[in-house]
Chain A
Amino acid sequence: MAAGAFKFEDDPLKHYVRTRGWLPLCRERHRQLQGRKPRDRRRLRYFTFCAVNAVDVLMLDVAKVIRPSAAGRFDTVCFFDRTVELVAQTQLRVPGSIGFAGSFVETVLTPLTAANPLASPAVERDTAAVRRRQVLQATKRDFIDKFPFDVLNLDLEDLIFKARDTFPGDVIRALRQLCEWQRRPLVSKAGTELLDGFTLLFTTRVGPAELREDYAQMLITELEANVAADGTLVELLRRRNGLEVGRLQQDDFVAFFELGVPKVIAKALMDEDWHIDPNPELVAFRFTRTGSPSYEIVHFAMNVRRQSPRREDRAPGTTPPHVMAAYKSFARGLFERPATLVNEATVAGSISDLLSTKSGAGGESTIRTKWLSDTRYRGLEDGNARTRRSKLFSSFRPIFSCDRPLTCASERLEGGGMRMIV
């Protein structure tokens, strides 16, 4: 299967993560915004790599977490996608959303050399290379202007540590940059606001197994620092997989990765004056993307808080004690609770529960998720935007609403969806 061709939207395992991991945190963030004084209330600002079907955006729309403007535009939703075509298709599905095409990492890391990148240069000629630089810088400026967001959904579905990147990796450098921009003031009719927290959803492939030495050392150092600071973590780890930190990389790479990566993220956040909020704790999900080759995907969902007092209000180089305590608590949580392993049985359990409550136990049903892409096309043909979205989600809702796991037999169908026997 060609890169990028996997129908992530149709994957029930991914749905599970969306509904169990992302939705509760986004709902809570939305609730906080709506709990403010009336004049300070505003719509949730959401950044995502939603892909063409924008299932996460539609899910949040149905859950009324993301709201359109008075003009019917989802203009608080921003997203990146690889190509113009994909961005255009997503904008059709999420009208009024702000889309950026191209490489996210390249855009974020491109240096800004001009105050107004789109101004006609006085000396340089009108060539493709000059135009490309202008547009790339303008895109970066536009992107920066959209910050801050209440939810950053970095659903990259890619490797976080790449062999060709310079240490500590382009993704981490980009994440740091994002965290810096998250400190930008949000100017609205109600006034200027500085975020005191946001929700970070981070997805990455597990791997590569042959991690470059400097990356591996970074993860090991983080883990060793944790263990040195809290001796009880050694026992927790031993109970989990019978291993010591020194043997993790070789003997249980997945655990090594799952424990190490959040620490790297936490470090990047702390460097930019944020910290992971241990309440509620970070949640992690892991599942296997079948294909050739198969690979493991891990999702982290966490709340992030601004350090208090802010960097500019405290002595240089110091970290507030409550931030250190929060970090310790977060690190301990990671050792205590491994990522939830998501597989067909987990998801089927949820769906079968729904079926049993709807039509009584027993019987055979086929749940197809492929309809997502097909019906959405048809649904867009007529009616107003709101009706279209409701129509599209009318049969999608049940997947979101089931929560009692049951055991059932299931098999995945070619082209998306699954067959199950309750």
Chain B
Amino acid sequence: MPQIRVHEKALAHLSRGLYRSPASALRELVSNAWDANATQVLIATNYPNFAQISVQDNGDGFSGPEFEKLMAGGIGNSEKRNVDEPLIHTRPLIGRLGIGLLGIAQICGSFEVSSKPKKGEAFRARVRLYDLIRERLDIDDPEIVKENGLAEGVREVDVGEYEFLPVEKNGLSRGTNITSDDIHPTFMRSFRESRSPEVAPKFKEPPLEWSKCLTVISQVHTLHELGDYWKLLWELSASCPIPYASSDAVPQGAIKDIQKRLVEYEFTTRVDGITLAKPVRLRGNKGGYTVERIPHTSKNVYGRNLEFEGYVAVQEGQQLKPDELRGIMIRIKNVGVGYYDPSFLDYPFNEGPRAKWVTGEVYVGAGLEDALNVDRDSFNRFHPEFRTLQQHLHEVLRRKVFPEVYKKLSSRSADREAERQELRTSELQQIVSTSLGAKVKVRRFSSSAEREAVAVNQTRDQVQITFGDLSQLRTKKAQRQLAASILALYDIASRERGAEQQRERFEELLLALLSRW
């Protein structure tokens, strides 16, 4: 039976446009560093000029021959690390496609790689990616699309070239460093312009402490208001396998165990001197938070294990800021996949504005990798493992989270109503007392159907207003209290002697009431 092959050009295309944002490309390099046992990744964007970019880690590094192997056909073909070589601090292995190194090609035309491995010689190489590659692929430019020579009809595609550069003695420290000064002008322009008030109206110089950055971020509706640079910081903080700013970043200890684990991994990411932490910090909300922990869960799907845990948190009565924090973030091996999903993995019920109060994270420890699309930013939503996770999450939302939210909502509404009524009673008392110079008592018998809606008893120095069953008043529920109060004032005014005095008293009382209502 004839075999089906994927054309080499497909992968060549991937080398230039795989990720949807620069942060996604950088996230792949950060993931590489994690897999290389690095404890620190330093990203420098040359802020505020953005004319260069560099990603440096202190991991195991790799040797010149390994680099050559990767360049000669290993891109997108990386082998999983030998399971006998576990990562430090019991880290799970992230790597999969091995295309991360070329991810930076999305924003630059050439770059330099230098690495000093744990064992073996250090090397430095300059990688130059060919210009106008897509056009050249389309016309099968013979300079880059060549016969493989090993099998008929199999062709190789060259996407660029590299050369080794001299390495200064003791010039490199352990780890890998990727730098580029050939940043695409469009990237530079876009990031620079995002510092101008015309493009990013709420832009501020990012403070060097991440907690202060979070304060700035929590004051905008969307990260677009702060511009591309802030978006880059936020996206990296959201997606990298780094700890939270503190273990109480989510109330009720929902991330305590997760945070402990993340801290134990000993992995930090610094961008332009800012040490990033996850961008979640739920605190200070007047209405409090409803938090539902998703305990560690294990399910078998087509004979494969799917393990996950996490939380869903609701900021009661208050939209989360920024918008980008709303929804659910899925993390595979601690690395965020795409952005927070505001559809809660296609949750089918309309929860109205309540949906804007919800944020959550699901940490997938095993499985779901096959459901990941090649950009590592999205899922095949019909993959059975994805469907299983989706179903579980929807159950949590439908059966636990939103019922609790509605319960609290109803209780808050009742409390608010009672407060409002109390305030209006006191205002009515004040108005009548000021106008008549008499003591005023207001009584309510809302449950008593026999009583009149409004009754007024007046003596020389005391007025007693009694509100009974207001449902007798044939008006909208929201207007009954006002109507009852007006009737009471009318009753009081009608006790004046002449028609003119009655009118004057009523006008005085009514206007006073309306001015405070």
Question: Would A142 and B179 count as touching, CB distance under 8 A?
Answer: no
**Known A-B contacts A5-B168, A71-B208, A384-B209; A85 and B273 likewise in contact (beta carbons under 8 Å):** no
Question: Would A138 and B273 count as touching, CB distance under 8 A?
Answer: no
Report B416 CB to chain A, min CB distance, Å. Answer: 40
| B-chain residues with CB within 8 Å of residue A131 when the two chains form the complex | 109, 182, 184-185
CA distance A118 to B188 in the complex (A): 7
Q: Does A96 contact B (CB under 8 A)?
A: yes
Q: Does A99 contact B (CB under 8 A)?
A: yes
Report A67 CB to chain B, min CB distance, Å. Answer: 14
Q: Does A73 contact B (CB under 8 A)?
A: yes
Q: Does A409 contact B (CB under 8 A)?
A: no
Q: Does B42 contact A (CB under 8 A)?
A: yes
**Known A-B contacts A99-B49, A118-B192; A84 and B179 likewise in contact (beta carbons under 8 Å):** yes
Question: Would B49 and A98 count as touching, CB distance under 8 A?
Answer: yes
Q: Mark A374-410, 1 if CB is under 8 A from B, else 0.
A: 0000000100110000000000000000000000000
Q: Does B207 contact A (CB under 8 A)?
A: yes
Q: Does B183 contact A (CB under 8 A)?
A: yes
CA distance A146 to B270 in the complex (A): 26
CA distance A101 to B272 in the complex (A): 15
CA distance A197 to B209 in the complex (A): 36
Q: Mark B27-70, 1 if CB is under 8 A from A, else 0.
A: 00000000000001010101111011110100000000000000
Question: Would B182 and A132 count as touching, CB distance under 8 A?
Answer: yes
Question: Would B208 and A73 count as touching, CB distance under 8 A?
Answer: yes
Report B276 CB to chain A, min CB distance, Å. Answer: 14
Question: Would A84 and B49 count as touching, CB distance under 8 A?
Answer: no
Q: Does A110 contact B (CB under 8 A)?
A: no
**Known A-B contacts A71-B205, A95-B273, A120-B185; A88 and B56 likewise in contact (beta carbons under 8 Å):** yes
CA distance A127 to B135 in the complex (A): 12
CA distance A327 to B516 in the complex (A): 79
Question: Would B273 and A96 count as touching, CB distance under 8 A?
Answer: yes
| B-chain residues with CB within 8 Å of residue A118 when the two chains form the complex | 185-186, 188-189, 192
Q: Does A139 contact B (CB under 8 A)?
A: yes
Q: Does A182 contact B (CB under 8 A)?
A: no
CA distance A306 to B42 in the complex (A): 43
**Known A-B contacts A88-B52, A385-B273; A126 and B132 likewise in contact (beta carbons under 8 Å):** yes
| A-chain residues with CB within 8 Å of residue B207 when the two chains form the complex | 71-72
Report B42 CB to chain A, min CB distance, Å. Answer: 6
Question: Would A138 and B52 count as touching, CB distance under 8 A?
Answer: no
Question: Would B179 and A83 count as touching, CB distance under 8 A?
Answer: yes
Report A1 CB to chain B, min CB distance, Å. Answer: 9
Residue of A nearest to B205 (CB): A71
Give the contacts of B187-209 with A (CB-CB under 8 A): 188-189, 192, 204-209
Q: Does B176 contact A (CB under 8 A)?
A: no
Question: Would B48 and A84 count as touching, CB distance under 8 A?
Answer: no
Q: Mark B324-342, 1 if CB is under 8 A from A, else 0.
A: 0000000000000000000
CA distance A100 to B48 in the complex (A): 10
Give the contacts of A70-84 with B (CB-CB under 8 A): 71-73, 75, 83-84
Question: Would B205 and A135 count as touching, CB distance under 8 A?
Answer: no
Q: Mark B93-111, 1 if CB is under 8 A from A, else 0.
A: 0000000000000000110
Report B178 CB to chain A, min CB distance, Å. Answer: 10
Residue of A nearest to B128 (CB): A128
Question: Would B51 and A139 count as touching, CB distance under 8 A?
Answer: yes
Q: Does B180 contact A (CB under 8 A)?
A: yes
Residue of B nearest to A125 (CB): B132
Q: Does A117 contact B (CB under 8 A)?
A: yes
CA distance A276 to B335 in the complex (A): 59
Residue of B nearest to A384 (CB): B209
**Known A-B contacts A101-B51, A102-B181; A87 and B46 likewise in contact (beta carbons under 8 Å):** yes
Question: Would B205 and A85 count as touching, CB distance under 8 A?
Answer: no
| A-chain residues with CB within 8 Å of residue B114 when the two chains form the complex | 85
| B-chain residues with CB within 8 Å of residue A123 when the two chains form the complex | none
Selected from A69, A88, A385, the residue in CB contact (under 8 A) with B44 is: A88
Report B13 CB to chain A, min CB distance, Å. Answer: 16
Report A370 CB to chain B, min CB distance, Å. Answer: 12
Residue of A nearest to B186 (CB): A120
CA distance A131 to B40 in the complex (A): 32
Q: Does B177 contact A (CB under 8 A)?
A: yes
Q: Mark A82-126, 1 if CB is under 8 A from B, else 0.
A: 011101100110011011111000000000000001111000011
Q: Mark B250-269, 1 if CB is under 8 A from A, else 0.
A: 00000000000000000000
Residue of B nearest to A78 (CB): B49
Q: Does B131 contact A (CB under 8 A)?
A: yes
Residue of A nearest to B166 (CB): A2
Question: Would A85 and B132 count as touching, CB distance under 8 A?
Answer: no
**Known A-B contacts A73-B205, A91-B273, A125-B132; A84 and B188 likewise in contact (beta carbons under 8 Å):** no
Q: Does A307 contact B (CB under 8 A)?
A: no
Selected from B49, B54, B208, the residue in CB contact (under 8 A) with A95 is: B208
Q: Does A204 contact B (CB under 8 A)?
A: no
Question: Would A85 and B182 count as touching, CB distance under 8 A?
Answer: no
Selected from A101, A119, A142, A381, the residue in CB contact (under 8 A) with B181 is: A101
Q: Mark B459-500, 1 if CB is under 8 A from A, else 0.
A: 000000000000000000000000000000000000000000
| A-chain residues with CB within 8 Å of residue B179 when the two chains form the complex | 83-85, 88
Question: Would B208 and A96 count as touching, CB distance under 8 A?
Answer: yes
Give the contacts of A110-162 with B (CB-CB under 8 A): 117-120, 125-128, 131-132, 134-135, 138-139, 142
Question: Would A87 and B205 count as touching, CB distance under 8 A?
Answer: no
Residue of A nearest to B170 (CB): A5
Give the contacts of B145-187 with A (CB-CB under 8 A): 166, 168, 171, 177, 179-186
Between B53, B110, B184, B204, the greatest number of chain A beta carbons within 10 A of the residue's beta carbon is seen for: B184
Residue of B nearest to A143 (CB): B49
**Known A-B contacts A5-B171, A91-B272, A118-B188; A99 and B46 likewise in contact (beta carbons under 8 Å):** yes
Question: Would B54 and A85 count as touching, CB distance under 8 A?
Answer: yes
Report B138 CB to chain A, min CB distance, Å. Answer: 15
Question: Would A87 and B52 count as touching, CB distance under 8 A?
Answer: yes
CA distance A127 to B52 in the complex (A): 17
Selected from B54, B110, B185, the residue in CB contact (under 8 A) with A117 is: B185
Selected from B51, B56, B180, the residue in CB contact (under 8 A) with A100 is: B51
Report A146 CB to chain B, min CB distance, Å. Answer: 10
CA distance A95 to B209 in the complex (A): 11
CA distance A157 to B42 in the complex (A): 29
Report A189 CB to chain B, min CB distance, Å. Answer: 14
Residue of A nearest to B40 (CB): A381
CA distance A142 to B206 in the complex (A): 20
CA distance A139 to B177 in the complex (A): 23
| A-chain residues with CB within 8 Å of residue B181 when the two chains form the complex | 83-84, 101-102, 135
| A-chain residues with CB within 8 Å of residue B53 when the two chains form the complex | 84
Give the contacts of B73-114 with A (CB-CB under 8 A): 109-110, 112, 114
| B-chain residues with CB within 8 Å of residue A132 when the two chains form the complex | 182
Question: Would B49 and A100 count as touching, CB distance under 8 A?
Answer: yes
| B-chain residues with CB within 8 Å of residue A87 when the two chains form the complex | 44, 46, 52
Question: Would B42 and A128 count as touching, CB distance under 8 A?
Answer: no
Residue of B nearest to A95 (CB): B273
Question: Would A84 and B132 count as touching, CB distance under 8 A?
Answer: no
Question: Would A135 and B51 count as touching, CB distance under 8 A?
Answer: yes
Residue of B nearest to A415 (CB): B170
State the 5 A-B residue pairs at the shortest beta-carbon distance, nearest first: A88-B44, A95-B273, A118-B189, A84-B52, A72-B208
Q: A91-B273, A100-B49, A125-B131 are in contact. List 8 more A-B contacts (CB 8 A).
A: A83-B179, A88-B179, A92-B270, A99-B46, A127-B132, A132-B182, A135-B188, A138-B51
Chain B residues in the interface with A (C-beta under 8 A): 40, 42, 44, 46-49, 51-54, 56, 109-110, 112, 114, 128, 131-132, 166, 168, 171, 177, 179-186, 188-189, 192, 204-209, 212, 270, 272-273
Interchain Cβ contacts under 8 Å between A and B, 9 examples: A84-B180, A85-B112, A87-B44, A92-B42, A92-B270, A96-B208, A118-B185, A135-B51, A138-B189
